Amino acid sequence: MRDPLHRSSLITPAGFAFLRRPEPPRRACMIRGHYLSALTLRREDGSLTGHSGGGGGMSVSAERIVSIDVVRGFAVLGILLMNVTGMGLPATAYLDPTFAGGHEGADFWMWSINFVLTDGKMRGLFTMLFGASMVLIAERADGQRPGPVSIHYRRMAWLLIFGLLHAYLLWWGDILVCYAIAGAIVFVLRTLTQRTLLICGVCILAMLTVLNVATGIALEDLRFAAHQPDAAQADLDAWAAASFALDPPAEARDAEIAAMRGGILEAIGARAVNLAFVYPNLLPFEVIEAVGQMMIGIALFRSGFFSLGWSSGSYLRLAALGYGIAVPVTAWLAWRAWDADFDVVVLNEMVAWSAVPRPFIALAHASTLLLCVRLGCLGALKGMLAAAGRMALSNYLLTSLITTFVFCGFGLGLFGALSRAELMIVVLAIWAFILLWSGPWLRHFAYGPFEWIWRALVRWRLPPFRRPPAIPPG
Phi-psi region of 90 (alpha: psi -120 to 50; beta: other; left: phi over 0): beta
In sequence order, the β-bridge partners of residue 28 are: 37
The maximal CA–CA distance of the chain, rounded, in angstroms, is 90
How far is Cα 315 from Cα 421, in angstroms, rounded to an integer? Answer: 32
> Residue 276: pLDDT above 60?
yes
How far is Cα 280 from Cα 374, in angstroms, rounded to an integer? Answer: 44
Q: What's the pLDDT tens digit per position in 279-300? A: 999 999 999 999 999 999 999 9
Q: Which domain holds residue 289?
A: 17-52+60-459
Position with higher pLDDT, 9 vs 342: 342
Looking at 32-46, 94-108, 247-261, 413-427, which range is the least confident one? 32-46
Is the peptide bond prior to 146 cis by the omega test (within 30 degrees of 0)? yes
Give 207's contacts (C-beta < 8 A, 6+ positions apart): none
Looking at 235-239, 278-282, 335-339, 420-424, which range is the least confident one? 235-239
Burial class (CB within 10 angstroms; exposed 0-12, middle 13-18, buried 19+) of 331? middle
Other beta carbons within 10 angstroms of residue 241's beta carbon come to 11
The half-sphere exposure of 40 on its side-chain side, counting CA atoms within 13 A, is: 26
Q: Is residue 25, in this structure, part of any structural domain at all?
A: yes
pLDDT at site 54: 31
pLDDT band at 87 (very low <50, low <70, confident <90, very high): very high
pLDDT at site 474: 55
pLDDT band at 48 (very low <50, low <70, confident <90, very high): very low
Q: Is residue 343, in this structure, part of any structural domain at all?
A: yes
Helix (H, G, I), strand (E, B) or coil at 10: coil
Position with higher pLDDT, 72 vs 144: 72
Q: Is residue 12, in this structure, part of any structural domain at all?
A: no
pLDDT at site 472: 61
Q: Is residue 98, in this structure, part of any structural domain at all?
A: yes
Q: Is residue 474, in this structure, part of any structural domain at all?
A: no
Q: What's the pLDDT tens digit per position in 221-268? A: 999 999 998 888 998 999 898 888 888 889 999 999 999 999 999 999
Q: Is residue 191, in this structure, part of any structural domain at all?
A: yes
The answer to whether residues 86 and 404 touch, using CB atoms and an 8 Å cutoff, is no
DSSP 419: -
Q: What's the pLDDT tens digit per position in 164-180? A: 999 999 999 999 999 99
Count up the domains in the chain and report the number: 1
Residue 166 is which amino acid? H
How far is Cα 28 from Cα 81, in angstroms, rounded to an integer? Answer: 36
Q: Is residue 468, in this structure, part of any structural domain at all?
A: no
Q: Is residue 413, in this structure, part of any structural domain at all?
A: yes
